[in-house]
Amino acid sequence: MAAHLAPVSTERDLRLDLFRGIALWLIFLGHIPSNTVSWITIRNYGFSDATEIFVFISGYSAAFVYGRAMQNAGFVVAAARVLKRAWQIYVAHVFLFAIYLAEIAYVSRNFDNPLYTEEMGVLDFMKNPDVTILQALMLKFKPVNMDVLPLYIVLLLWFAPILWLLLRSPTLALLVSAAIYAVMWLFNLNLPSYPSGGWVFNPFAWQLLFVLGAWCALGGAQRLTRWLNSPVLIGFAVLYLVFAFLIAMTWYIPRLAVYVPAFVGEAIYPIDKTNLDVLRILHFLSLAVITVYFVPRDWPGLKHPAFWPAIVCGQHSLEIFCLGVFLSFAGHFVFTEVSNQVVTHFIVSFAGIAIMVGTAALLSWYKRVERQGPRPPAKQPGFAEGDVR
């Protein structure tokens, strides 16, 4: 246990924190409806988006933390800690849901416009809070943009056994994960949602990226080193990113769509986010390959102060993710109640990121203080480490 509780600055891969931090910012920006600034988010330039980055890195860090715990303290202790983490995330999700309810209640009391009679029906669930809240507690009713944490909970719930397998036979574990993904596509598996349909992020699909992240953390990435530096692979990744970029342009300039040959359109559409389309996985992997190539683990620039804001956010991912969801509600509220000018979009976006960075810095400070507190560090409860270490 002591090994992973000690600060592991030499081992810590700052790239994970950096890119997770950036993903958290992009998720925040993308979750404010009609936000002009969300034009910078990667989803506009290709098939995948910040969710892939977030899920992959979460799998990577979960394996890093709990893999060590499993080797040092055994399956039961590690599994118990994973479940505890899942519970924390569940509590965070319910907390966010409470804030969402407050927002909905406000809108339903204050908004009236005969143009939107139909749309206002979405507020009807306030009439049956008993049903809605129960469905939300069962993770079946999930408001817009509140789908990531439930996915994370489910992924952690079955993480202990897959981690056990990953530690014994990484390849087999990866094959099991891929098989689940394939079976999901064959039989249209998904968890049910309320009032109808399935989960926006199908856990049977997204587990593949989570497990792939875990596999990389447990030595898979090292095994791939030779491949990752091959110019052929880099070339393919670049080509694929260019292809995705060109296709993405046709979404914004639909008249360009006529230049997309019919068979290409038939082959690629619809690009399914719910079931994590293969095109999305490939896009994420291409981005990852190029990033790993240009930003090596020991790149001194990672210590540059310019990257610190994103890194510190990435180091407190759960808290900052939740804060981001809350801030995106608040940002939308500002747009509707105060001003919808483009300049407001910029102010809200930058203020939101500043609040995220400030909060993350505060959390880091808190952690340091707690460690130096009256109790010796070794007795600190493990979960306080978060899933990032």
Partner 1 sequence: MKRILLLVVMTVLAGAQGALPLAAKPVECRVPGFQVDRIFALPLVMRAIEAKRLSILVVGNGSSQLPGPTGNNVSYPVRLQAALAKKLPGVEVTVATEIQPRRTSIEAVKVMPKALAVTKPTLVVWQTGTVDAMQSTDPDQFSRALDKGINIARSAGADMIFVNAQYSPRTESMIALGIYAENMRWAAMQHEVPLFDRFRLMQLWSDVGTFDLYSATKKLDMAVAVHDCIGQLLADLVIEAARTPSGR
Which residue has tokens 């898979």? 220
Residue 250: partners with Cβ closer than 8 Å, 6 or more residues away = 256, 257, 259, 260
Least CB distance from residue 245 to partner 1, whole Å? 18
The residues in 2-41 that bind partner 1, with binding defined as CB under 8 A, are 33-34
Which of 87, 111, 299, 365 is close enough to bind partner 1 by CB under 8 A?
Answer: 111
Residues 69 and 61: their CA atoms lie apart, in Å, by 12
| Residue 48 engages partner 1 in binding (rule: CB under 8 A) | no
Of 218, 241, 237, 219, nearest to 228 by C-alpha is 237
| Residue 246 engages partner 1 in binding (rule: CB under 8 A) | no
Q: Structure tokens of 371?
A: 């460690």
| Residue 99 engages partner 1 in binding (rule: CB under 8 A) | no
Specify the residue, 198 or 386, whose C-beta has the smaller distance to partner 1: 198
Selected range binding partner 1 among 46-54, 100-108, 207-215, 280-288, rule: CB under 8 A: 100-108
| Residue 316 engages partner 1 in binding (rule: CB under 8 A) | no
Do residues 45 and 245 make contact, with C-beta atoms less than 8 angstroms apart?
Answer: yes
The secondary element (H helix, E strand) that includes residue 70 is helix 50-73
Which of 3, 40, 98, 144 is close enough to bind partner 1 by CB under 8 A?
Answer: 144
Specify the residue, 42 or 174, whose C-beta has the smaller distance to partner 1: 42
Q: Which residues of 342-358 are buried (b: 16+ CB within 10 A; e: fewer)?
A: eebbeebbeebbebbbe
| Residue 258 engages partner 1 in binding (rule: CB under 8 A) | yes
| Residue 345 engages partner 1 in binding (rule: CB under 8 A) | no
| Residue 128 engages partner 1 in binding (rule: CB under 8 A) | no
Do residues 6 and 378 make contact, with C-beta atoms less than 8 angstroms apart?
Answer: no
Which of 4, 85, 93, 273 is close enough to bind partner 1 by CB under 8 A?
Answer: 273
| Residue 107 engages partner 1 in binding (rule: CB under 8 A) | yes
Least CB distance from residue 57 to partner 1, whole Å? 24
Residue 141: partners with Cβ closer than 8 Å, 6 or more residues away = 125, 132, 135, 193, 194, 195
Specify the residue, 336 or 364, whose C-beta has the smaller distance to partner 1: 336
Q: Which burial class, exposed, middle or buried, applies to 144 when counting CB atoms under 10 A from its CB (0-12, 13-18, 19+)?
A: exposed
Least CB distance from residue 47 to partner 1, whole Å? 13
Residues 14 and 314: their CA atoms lie apart, in Å, by 9
Residue 18: partners with Cβ closer than 8 Å, 6 or more residues away = 302, 307, 310, 311, 314
Selected range binding partner 1 among 2-10, 187-195, 277-285, 295-303, rule: CB under 8 A: 187-195
Do residues 356 and 22 make contact, with C-beta atoms less than 8 angstroms apart?
Answer: no
| Residue 382 engages partner 1 in binding (rule: CB under 8 A) | no
| Residue 283 engages partner 1 in binding (rule: CB under 8 A) | no
Least CB distance from residue 35 to partner 1, whole Å? 10
| Segments in 74-128 forming alpha helices (H) | 75-110
| Residue 126 engages partner 1 in binding (rule: CB under 8 A) | no
| Residue 72 engages partner 1 in binding (rule: CB under 8 A) | no
Which of 127, 168, 226, 255 is close enough to bind partner 1 by CB under 8 A?
Answer: 255
Query: Nearest 5 degrees, angle CA 386-CA 48-CA 38?
Result: 85
Which of 9, 10, 110, 372 is close enough to bind partner 1 by CB under 8 A?
Answer: 110
Which of 44, 88, 135, 193 is close enough to bind partner 1 by CB under 8 A?
Answer: 193
| Residue 261 engages partner 1 in binding (rule: CB under 8 A) | no
